[in-house]
Amino acid sequence: MSLVKLRNITKEYQLGKTVVHALRGVDLAIDAGEIVAIMGPSGSGKSTLMHIIGCLDMPSVGEVEIENMPTDSLRERQLATIRGRKIGFVFQTFNLVASLTAQGNVALPMIFQKIKRTQRTQRAAELLEKIGLGDRKNHHPNELSGGERQRVSIARAMANDPDIILADEPTGNLDSESGATVMRTLRRLSDEEGKTVIVVTHNPEVAAYADRVITLRDGKIIKEERRD
Amino acid sequence: MIKDFFFLALKTVRQRRLRSWLTVIGVVIGITAVVALLSLGIGLERTIIAQVEGIFGVDTIMIMRGVEERDPRRDTRRGPVPGLIDIEPDLVRQVEEVVAIAPIRSETGLIRRVAENGVPVSGFFPVIGLYSEMVTEFRAFIGEFPIAAGRMLIVGDERKAILGYAVAQRLAVTPGKTIEIEGQSFQVVGIIETYPEEMKAAMGAAAGLEPILTDETIFIPFAMMEEIFGDAGAPLFLAKAGEREDVVIVAERINTALAEAGVDGILLVTFEEISQGIGTMVNIVSSFVAGLAGIALLVGGVGLMNTMYTSVLERTREIGVMKAVGAQNRHILSIFLIESSLMGFIGGIVGIILGLLLSVGASLAMRHFWEFELLLGISAPLIIGALLFSLLVGAIAGMLPARRASKLRPVEAFRYE
Ligand SMILES: Nc1ncnc2c1ncn2[C@@H]1O[C@H](COP(=O)(O)OP(=O)(O)OP(=O)(O)O)[C@@H](O)[C@H]1O
Ligand SMILES: [Mg+2]
């Protein structure tokens, strides 16, 4: 059964008098435990699609179901809860909070789910340990390398043990070595913990970690290939 | 959760240390000014009350002619009216827990003296009837009688007088000489040194009467007043309550006793009432001045608001991230509100400390340069009030920026460069 279902997703932006069609009717079903890579030229709608899957944005037309729950009728608080509990985001630019330590950043999503302080710090420490940054937990983001920051943000994405991890060009700002480490980490999360990973990338080497590669162009899926 | 938001806000404030301090300074200036002025006001009130208390005594009750109850229909207010009260002092003295009673009566009399060379000098001077207990029991009220020559009036004196320094000079008399008061002969037995200025003013003001203690005042035994000026009684009686009973209760008892004796149209005023009146007056003035200082606080608040708006702009991306990891709008709202309240609060603490130091400094300076003993006006309500107020300023200043932050759409936040 599919974890994420998209039906006829259309997204339009009004820019003055012109209408930008970011997505033009996307149908997609993603199964639990899959790693899906989304590729395509710049401006083809990859980020827009990710935001819609991640409940950060609503489609103009079409339906989104997360774990068989339609999201269109949900209210702001409920969407926030879904983002917090079921989805973990990893961004190209890391987007760590500068005033918080690595551990503080990993613990941040748990604050909004009302998890107790002791439990938060413990889990954050464990997650950092798991991605090999146990000794850097009291460092602030500006004291970490790009690769390390991205691993911290993966740990943050894992904080509330979500089913889905959305990564928008997670290796875009990293050298190939660090990029490979990040992808191995995501692969392991999928293999060992059954996480569903959706990763946007321009890089075929990155896409090689995926079970399925979807190619977007002008807001439409033009190609879909499965590998084994 | 609020606690966690507090720590999040604290970390942000600490991270932008310089800007946070610059922002806080705006609040500090306002709170400092308000606290310093209010505390000086409170100090002034305490000083005046202490002075009045020194003259008057907390246990003193004034008995006058007057209107006791407000009656709006007749447009009358509680307050004194002119006229003598003709009562036996013993009537009041018998009331439980009244330890002393003394009438005060002052009139203006025509004074005449024929000098040794036969040339007469005359003039109008205030004449006070001095009751023996006035001297023994209400010493503070009437002041130290600094006798320069001769002696004080004593019980049993009849046609004897003591003269103020100035009037003695005008009439060129020394103890032992004779003067005429309203045509009747009195023997001068003593001359009083000049009174301290504040004593003269305070005495009259406290009683709500014309200043009666002057260097031209002539004192005669109280019993002689009726004989010389006609009419029995006095416009003002002072009663002193014992220590075992609240002065207001004793005043009530006196009122009842007088009413039972058929004396009405009486007004009883206690020290408490007078100090309340002074307190209200000083409060109005100092609140007004502090209100003006509040404008500085307003400016500080606007500065805080500006900083918060800037902060929301700068942290657009951070807000987007927090939403992406599960923050609800109200969580973002709380975080920003707490942040601005925190800065207001810190400004409040620093401002209160500086304000109090300033008022202590002012009080020391007054003692040093003007020899004026200004009491300190540091009070818990002032400190707590100022703290809450600074918190409120912070919260209000943060309201709109926090609202903007909370309404930010996460996707827009990520597109923001
Ligand atoms: N908020 C917006 N307002 C107007 N147009 C937008 C907005 N967001 C996206 N677009 C437009 O929608 C289209 C798709 O954008 P999107 O960011 O999804 O592309 P992308 O595939 O992620 O590109 P890239 O690889 O450069 O990140 C683009 O033409 C973009 O200009
Ligand atoms: Mg993109």
Q: What would the pLDDT profile of B79-135 be if each residue is shown by its tens digit?
A: 677 778 888 888 888 888 888 888 888 888 888 888 777 788 888 888 888 888 877
User: Which tens digit of pLDDT belongs to each residue from A14-23?
Assistant: 888 999 999 9
Residue of B nearest to A116 (CA): B1
In angstroms, rounded to a whole number, what is the distance separating the alpha carbons of residues A88 and A162?
Answer: 6
> Which whole number is the average pLDDT over B182-209?
70
Q: How far is A97 from chain B (nearest CA, A)?
A: 6
**Identity of the residue in B11, B329, B411 whose CB atom sits nearest the CB atom of A100:** B11
Q: Best mutation site among A79, A95, A154 for testing chain B: the one with the most B CBs within 10 Å? A: A95
CA separation (Å) from B80 to A3, B40, B103, B275, B357? Answer: 89, 32, 16, 17, 42
- pLDDT surpassing 60 at residue B215: yes
Query: Exposure of B43 by Cβ count < 10 A (0-12 exposed, 13-18 middle, 19+ buried)?
Result: buried
Ligand 1 proximity of A18 Cβ (cutoff 6 Å): no
A64 vs B263 pLDDT, higher one: A64
Ligand 1 proximity of A185 Cβ (cutoff 6 Å): no
Q: How far is B324 from chain A (nearest CA, A)?
A: 6
What is the Å distance from ligand 2's center to B131 Cα?
Answer: 101
The rounded mean pLDDT for chain A is 92
**Identity of the residue in B8, B14, B326 whose CB atom sits nearest the CB atom of A83:** B326
Ligand 1 proximity of A51 Cβ (cutoff 6 Å): no
Q: For the CA atoms of B10, B11, B14, B16, what is the dihedral angle to 10 degrees? A: -120
Three-state DSSP class for residue B129: strand
pTM of the full predicted structure? 0.73
Pairing mode, strands A212-217 and B218-221: unpaired
In angstroms, rounded to a whole number, what is the distance separating the alpha carbons of residues A91 and B317?
Answer: 11
For residue A203, the ligand closest to its alpha carbon is 1
| Chain B positions touching chain A (beta carbons under 8 Å) | 1, 4-5, 8, 11-12, 14-15, 317-318, 320-331, 409-411, 414
The rounded mean pLDDT for chain B is 83
CB contact under 8 A, A104 and B11: yes
Residues of A with CB below 8 A from B14's CB? 99
> Which whole number is the average pLDDT over B12-39?
88
How many residues can be counted in chain A? 228
What is the interface size between A and B, counted as CB pairs within 8 Å?
78
Three-state DSSP class for residue B172: coil
**Identity of the residue in B1, B12, B326 whose CB atom sits nearest the CB atom of A80:** B326
What would the two tokens of residue B57 be? Answer: 């005594």
CB contact under 8 A, B323 and A109: no
User: Which tens digit of pLDDT belongs to each residue from A102-112?
Assistant: 999 999 999 99
> Which whole number is the average pLDDT over B333-342?
93
Q: Best mutation site among A23, A55, A111 for testing chain B: the one with the most B CBs within 10 Å? A: A111
Q: Best mutation site among B15, B325, B336, B339 for testing chain A: the one with the most A CBs within 10 Å? A: B325
Residue whose structure tokens are 């935001």:
A51
What would the two tokens of residue B13 be? Answer: 């404030």
CB contact under 8 A, A108 and B414: no
**Identity of the residue in B4, B12, B322 whose CB atom sits nearest the CB atom of A99:** B12
User: Which tens digit of pLDDT belongs to each residue from B387-408?
Assistant: 998 999 999 999 999 999 999 9
User: Which tens digit of pLDDT belongs to each residue from A37-76?
Assistant: 999 999 999 999 999 999 999 999 999 999 889 998 899 9
